[in-house]
């Protein structure tokens, strides 16, 4: 649909649209003229959600806009929740129950009378506790749930007109003020006291609900982590007790230091032990060498025996001294033993001196010198032998200690690892508990941070009525909705309507179009006489051109006029063509199955034939022409047949027609049945018919005749120029002024 077509459609239905808009506006006025006055009260509350102090991060400003938006959504949903609104309604009812009479600060006289009807003294005396609001509220809640289906209860808590119902309080409007931490809550009611006190009660209720929800969330987390901390502490104590018992059982004070000291002493002992072994071997070798050089006689045997006894005693004494030096630290006893050992050494020296003082070795070496060397080495050998024995015993001690401490290490590591794991778990649970406690405190602080920055005011003036706005909206809807319906109907219309669509659907060449002359009341300022004249003249012109193409102009032109359906206007359009041809001094014969209406006067010969078997079996047109009519005398012979979809037609006559005209109404659709019937007739005749579109709306005739002659004001001409993007005038218009015959004359 083009802009011009839209404007034409709009102009054609303008009266209907205006009537619809006016009617709906009047009805709205009648319905809204007695609306009660309303009073609005509002309050502003600072929430601290976005810019408030977070106790968990005092020096960090929150910039998580998604979280902030979620917090605001949660807050607004809590305010508008059913539970909150129902609680507000019941508290408002309790407030009014506490009153002895109407008080404008709380409720007007008129609304108090309604309250007395809903809450008679018989029920009020049962529910009211004059000393406790909470007790009264508890009774009201119980009574509401128990007697919900009672008429008075439903009238109080379920009717939208009642100030105590959720439906009435649901009219509150909650919004965030720009991007700030402030929210605005407003409420309108027909009583200023009720409007103000409803907001006061709502503020208290929703703040309590928010605090309850916040504390409930964090309380569960605190309780959970408290239990986990207790369990972790118990497990850690058990692990530490196990390690303590293990230390006591194995007599370990500090495993790391003890094992380190043991290793150091063992290494030191090993070095000393190796040194003693070397010294023992050296002394033994020296003794054996000296004894080989000595040859003892019988005299010296006794001295040797004494010496051996002394030597044995000295060896035992040396062993005691070595043991005291290694294990004990008794200096006095050690000194006595050393003195005794020195005396025994002197004794042994004296015995040997006596034994070898006169002796020499077989090599001639003085025995005295060898004896001194032998004594020195033998004493050294004995001393090293005693110390080696002690070191061997000490080595066995270290081996036993190593065997003891080796398995203890893995047990210590396991016990300490178990303590470390349980200690970390305890610390994590403790940290989580601290975070939960901090969050709980932060939630409580945030809830307490909701500050009423502007208390609900008492509205002294009623709000401006919305009657004018409602009437305006009703008028707009009354205008727009019918317009949308008209546009929708226009867009969904499947009829042929335009010549272009007729050619597209039928596939036929357009002979011409004839307008719908019954549309005079719908189309404004159209010159129908001019439209009829031009449309019929163009049809005759195209018909003559088609006849000229078919043969000699002196031969009669047989033309078949048909339609696929009935009531497409075959008779009317043929009548118009025949009259126009007669006006051109053409002799025309029209044969039709029915007579012309009495209102139509033909200027040509009109013959009615019977649509019977004779007609269907006719072999020549002359068989249908009555006596007194000579077909050869006519320039044009038109034969009209009924709709070919539902009526048979003479197949033998079809080849005798020079061409055919398919008359189709623009007011109907074109479907497959029409297409099949047209194809069958075309195949029988051996040629394609021409299309004559009948009943075309005057505005759509412009595609055939060009611009339609209309009486237009300069405003309409300007609007059309804009819609058609032609701002310059075409130089043609019509004006009824100065016309002698009342018809528009060309300027």
Condensed to tens digits (0 to 9), the pLDDT of residues 46-76 reads: 887 766 555 555 444 455 678 788 888 888 8
Residue 714 has pLDDT above 60, yes or no: no
Angle at 192 between CA 189 and CA 196, to 5 degrees: 90
What are the CA-CA distances from residue 213 to residues 78, 156, 206, 218, 450 (Å)? Answer: 10, 29, 10, 9, 15
What are the CA-CA distances from residue 120 to residues 112, 145, 153, 161, 700 (Å)? Answer: 11, 18, 12, 18, 74
CA distance 377 to 525: 158
Of the pLDDT bands very low, low, confident and very high (cuts 50, 70, 90), residue 605 is very high
Q: If 0-12 CB within 10 Å is exposed, 13-18 middle and 19+ buried, where does residue 731 land?
A: exposed
Terminal-to-terminal C-alpha distance of the chain? 31
Report pLDDT for 292: 64
H or E stretch including 560?
strand 557-562
Q: What is the DSSP string of 667-708?
A: TS---HHHHHHHHHHHHHHTSPPEEEEEEE-GGGGHHHHSSP
Contacts 24+ apart (CB under 8 A), 172-176: 172/79, 172/80, 172/85, 172/198, 172/199, 172/202, 174/76, 174/79, 174/80, 176/72, 176/76
CA distance 659 to 337: 163
Of the pLDDT bands very low, low, confident and very high (cuts 50, 70, 90), residue 11 is confident
Of the pLDDT bands very low, low, confident and very high (cuts 50, 70, 90), residue 636 is very high
Residue 745 has pLDDT above 60, yes or no: no
- Residues near 248 by beta carbon (within 8 Å), at least 6 away in sequence: none
Residue 729 has pLDDT above 50, yes or no: no
Asked if 341 and 314 touch (Cβ cutoff 8 Å), the reply is yes
For 13-45, write each residue's pLDDT tens digit: 788 888 998 999 898 888 877 777 888 899 998
Residue 413 has pLDDT above 60, yes or no: yes
Task: Tell me which residue of 448, 454, 432 sits closest to 53, measured CA to CA.
Answer: 448
Report pLDDT for 722: 58
Q: Span 438-443, mean pLDDT?
A: 67
Of the pLDDT bands very low, low, confident and very high (cuts 50, 70, 90), residue 251 is low
Asked if 544 and 585 touch (Cβ cutoff 8 Å), the reply is no
Residue 430 has pLDDT above 60, yes or no: yes
Q: Span 500-505, mean pLDDT?
A: 91
**Residue 409 CB neighbour total at 10 angstroms:** 12
Lowest mean pLDDT among 202-211, 303-312, 619-628: 303-312
Which residues, in sequence order, are bridge partners of residue 297? none
Of the pLDDT bands very low, low, confident and very high (cuts 50, 70, 90), residue 660 is very high
Report pLDDT for 265: 73
Report pLDDT for 360: 54
Of the pLDDT bands very low, low, confident and very high (cuts 50, 70, 90), residue 119 is confident
Residue 156 has pLDDT above 50, yes or no: yes
Angle at 553 between CA 547 and CA 555, to 5 degrees: 95
Residue 741 has pLDDT above 50, yes or no: no
Residue 731 has pLDDT above 50, yes or no: no
Q: Is the dihedral of CA 678, 681, 682, 688 positive or negative?
A: negative
CA distance 162 to 199: 16
Q: Across the chain, what does the average pLDDT equal?
A: 79
CA distance 73 to 67: 10
For 172-226, write each residue's pLDDT tens digit: 999 988 888 889 999 998 889 999 999 999 999 988 888 777 776 666 777 788 8
How far, rounded to the nearest angstrom, does the alpha carbon of residue 178 sit from its chain's CA centroid?
A: 23
How far, rounded to the nearest angstrom, does the alpha carbon of residue 62 sit from its chain's CA centroid?
A: 24
Q: What domains lie within the chain, and their CATH numbers?
A: 1-35+465-493 (no CATH), 36-222 (no CATH), 255-444 (no CATH), 496-710 (3.40.50.300), 712-747 (no CATH)
51 or 631, higher pLDDT:
631
What are the CA-CA distances from residue 540 to residues 548, 563, 636, 638, 641 (Å)? Answer: 12, 19, 12, 13, 20
Of the pLDDT bands very low, low, confident and very high (cuts 50, 70, 90), residue 442 is low
Residue 89 has pLDDT above 80, yes or no: yes
Report pLDDT for 506: 92
Report pLDDT for 710: 62
| 655 half-sphere exposure, CB direction, 13 A CA radius | 4
């Amino acid at each position: 649909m083009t802009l011009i077509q839209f404007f034409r459609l709009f102009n054609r239905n303008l009266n209907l649209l205006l009537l619809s808009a006016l009617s709906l506006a009047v009805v709205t006025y009648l319905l809204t003229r007695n609306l009660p006055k309303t009073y609005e009260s509002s309050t502003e509350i600072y929430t601290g959600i976005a810019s408030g102090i977070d106790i968990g991060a005092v020096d960090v400003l929150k910039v998580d806009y998604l979280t902030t938006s979620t917090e605001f959504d949660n807050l607004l949903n809590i305010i508008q929740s059913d539970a909150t609104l129902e609680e507000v309604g019941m508290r408002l009812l309790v407030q009014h129950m506490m009153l002895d009479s109407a008080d404008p600060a709380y409720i007007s006289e008129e609304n108090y009378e309604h309250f007395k009807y809903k809450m008679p003294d018989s029920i009020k005396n049962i529910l009211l506790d004059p000393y406790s609001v909470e007790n009264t509220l508890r009774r009201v809640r119980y009574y509401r749930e128990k007697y919900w289906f009672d008429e008075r209860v439903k009238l109080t808590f379920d009717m939208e007109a009642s100030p105590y119902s959720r439906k009435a309080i649901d009219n509150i409007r909650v919004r965030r003020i720009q991007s700030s931490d402030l929210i605005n809550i407003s409420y309108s009611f027909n009583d200023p006291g009720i409007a103000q006190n409803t907001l006061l009660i709502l503020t208290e209720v929703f703040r309590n609900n928010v605090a309850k929800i916040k504390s409930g969330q964090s309380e569960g987390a605190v309780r959970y982590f408290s239990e986990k901390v207790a369990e972790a502490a118990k497990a850690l104590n058990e692990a530490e007790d196990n390690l303590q018992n293990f230390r006591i059982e194995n007599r370990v004070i500090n495993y790391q230091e003890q094992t380190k000291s043991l290793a150091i002493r063992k290494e030191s002992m090993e070095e000393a032990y190796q040194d003693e072994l070397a010294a023992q071997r050296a002394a033994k070798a020296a003794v054996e060498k000296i004894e080989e050089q000595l040859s003892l006689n019988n005299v010296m045997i006794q001295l040797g025996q004494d010496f051996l006894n002394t030597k044995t005693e000295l060896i035992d004494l040396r062993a005691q001294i070595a043991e005291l030096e290694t294990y004990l630290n008794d200096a006095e006893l050690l000194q006595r033993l050393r003195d005794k050992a020195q005396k025994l050494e002197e004794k042994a020296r004296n015995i040997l001196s006596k034994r070898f003082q006169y002796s020499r070795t077989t090599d001639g070496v003085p025995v005295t010198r060898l004896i001194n060397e032998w004594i020195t080495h033998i004493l050294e050998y004995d001393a090293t032998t005693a110390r080696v024995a002690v070191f061997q015993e000490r080595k066995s001690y270290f081996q036993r200690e190593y065997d003891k401490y080796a398995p203890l290490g893995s047990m210590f590591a396991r016990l300490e690892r178990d303590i470390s794991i349980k200690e970390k778990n305890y610390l994590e649970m403790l940290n989580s508990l601290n975070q939960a406690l901090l969050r709980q405190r932060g939630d409580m602080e945030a809830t307490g941070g909701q500050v009423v920055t502007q208390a609900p005011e008492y509205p002294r003036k009623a709000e401006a009525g919305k009657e004018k706005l409602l009437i305006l909206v009703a008028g707009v809807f009354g205008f727009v909705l019918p317009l949308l319906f008209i546009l929708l109907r226009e867009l969904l219309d499947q009829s042929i309507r335009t010549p272009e669509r007729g050619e597209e659907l039928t596939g036929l060449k357009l002979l011409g179009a004839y307008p719908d002359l019954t549309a005079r009341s719908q189309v404004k300022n159209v010159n129908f006489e001019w439209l009829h004249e031009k449309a019929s003249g163009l049809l005759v012109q195209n018909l003559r051109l088609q006849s000229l193409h078919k043969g000699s102009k002196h031969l009669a032109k047989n033309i078949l006029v048909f339609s696929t359906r009935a009531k497409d206007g075959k008779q009317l359009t043929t009548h118009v063509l025949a009259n126009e041809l007669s006006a051109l001094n053409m002799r025309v014969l029209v044969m039709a199955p029915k007579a012309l209406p009495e209102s139509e006067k033909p200027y040509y010969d009109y013959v009615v034939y019977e649509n019977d078997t004779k007609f269907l079996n006719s072999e020549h047109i002359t068989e249908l022409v009555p006596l007194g009519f000579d077909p050869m005398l006519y320039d044009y012979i038109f034969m009209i047949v009924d709709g070919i979809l539902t009526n048979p037609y003479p197949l033998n006559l079809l080849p005798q027609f020079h061409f055919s005209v398919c008359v189709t109404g623009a007011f109907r659709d074109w479907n497959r049945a029409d297409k099949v019937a047209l194809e069958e007739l075309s195949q029988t005749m051996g040629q394609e018919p021409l299309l004559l579109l009948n009943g075309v709306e005057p505005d759509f005739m412009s595609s055939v005749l060009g611009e339609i002659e209309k009486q237009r004001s300069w405003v309409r001409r300007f609007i059309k120029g804009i819609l058609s993007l032609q701002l310059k005038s075409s130089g043609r218009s019509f004006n009824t002024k100065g016309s002698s015959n009342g018809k528009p004359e060309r300027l």
